[in-house]
Every structure is written in structure tokens, then in C-alpha cells.
A and B are shown apart, each in its own frame.
Chain A
Amino acid sequence: GENVEQHPSTLSVQEGDSAVIKCTYSDSASNYFPWYKQELGKGPQLIIDIRSNVGEKKDQRIAVTLNKTAKHFSLHITETQPEDSAVYFCAEAGNQFYFGTGTSLTVIP
């Protein structure tokens, strides 16, 4: 539960390109995987989540995929915009939430 690895730590993309952030976890009992966006000086905000009974979920430009066998899940942002620039955190949750170390995404106009 405590070992959530997140890559990359920093990511720069041109506006309009896609961004992909990946996380791996170790606790096979985890069944809930949220993603949070955190802007400077603010608390993390939930942007999308997925439960272990599905492999993919999409919400407009944001999608999350989950591979329970391999214990990894990914965030995909398409058609990136400058306002997508922020730090993104993955988390895995069983009894507790365990967060990754974050990815600082910069979208270059």
C-alpha cells in the first residue's frame, strides 16, 4: 500500500499534444485509483478515478487506464491546454490512500 511509484516527475508538452503519466503500485488488495490535480497554493482536486472492476474510464480530454495484473495505471490528457499545467498525483486506495510523488506538467503555448 505504501509503495506507489509515479513517472515522470516532470513533463513538458506543446499545447495540443498528449500527456501520459504512469503509476505502479504493490498492494493487490487496492481497488480504487484516483488522480488529483494540484495547482500552486491549493489542495489537490480530484479529476478522474477508476475502480478495479473496469479497465478504462474517460471524461472528455482525460482518461485513465488500469492494468490490475501488472499493477499499473495511467493518466492520459489529450489536446493539452496551458491551464492543464499543474502537479498531478496518482493514488491507490484500500483502507487508506497512498499517493505517488507527483508529476509537474507544463504545457507550453
Chain B
Amino acid sequence: DTGVSQNPRHKITKRGQNVTFRCDPISEHNRLYWYRQTLGQGPEFLTYFQNEAQLEKSRLLSDRFSAERPKGSFSTLEIQRTEQGDSAMYLCATPRGSTDTQYFGPGTRLTVL
């Protein structure tokens, strides 16, 4: 158990709907990362936060995607007007202690019909 929880674990939605995922790290590390993982691929970086500030965004993060970390603890990732290509596992990761090592949550598997 990495101490990172994500909800929901699975989400099935129809194309065009909005979805929101949540990540809760047990320890409030100042950095939090979001990744996307499609079948047969490794995780791909989407964005990361230093406390409440969103410091970097990947070009994968289209304007339909928005992420927040309002109090520097939990984070949410919202996808608006979902498309079938958004179907993937969305992973959250935080370091632990003073190391750079990233510890992943179990992910949210999104299926867009």
C-alpha cells in the first residue's frame, strides 16, 4: 500500500459527458503528479502540482482537461466533453519523505463509450 488513494476506481461514461477523478495522498507531500496510461504503454506525464500551484502541463493535457489542488492536499482531475480517445487509466503519484521516488495510487480506469 503506497498510501495514495484514488476514486472512483472505475468510471464508465458516454461520449460528451464530464467526469471528475480524485486523488488523496495520505501524507501531504508538496508535490503531486497526474499520469495517463493507455493499454500496453507506460504512464505518460500529464501535470504536476507544488502545493496548490500547477507548475507544469504536458501537451497531452488538452483544454478539455483541468486539474486542481485547492488546499495542497487532495487533487482532482476533470475531463470535459469526454471522447473515446480519453479511455485510459489515470494515475496519481506523490513522492514520500525527502526522496524523488514517486509512489502511485491504484488509478482510475475510464471507459468512454
Q: Does B41 contact A (CB under 8 A)?
A: yes
Q: Let me know if A43 and B100 touch, CB within 8 A.
A: no
> Do residues B107 and A100 form an inter-chain contact, with CB atoms below 8 A?
no
Interface size range of chain B in the complex:
20 to 34
Interface of B is mostly: strand
Q: Is the CB of A101 within 8 A of B40?
A: yes
Taking a contact as CB atoms closer than 8 A, the residue among B41, B56, B107 that contacts A43 in the complex is B107
Please report the total number of A residues contacting B with Cβ < 8 Å.
22
B104 with A43: CB separation less than 8 A: yes
Tell whether B2 is near chain A: CB-to-CB under 8 Å.
Answer: yes
Known A-B contacts A99-B42, A99-B44, A102-B40; A46 and B106 likewise in contact (beta carbons under 8 Å) = no
* Residues of B with C-beta under 8 A to A97: 33, 43, 45, 102
Which B residues lie at the A interface, using CB under 8 A? 2, 4, 6, 33, 40-45, 56, 91, 93, 100-107, 109
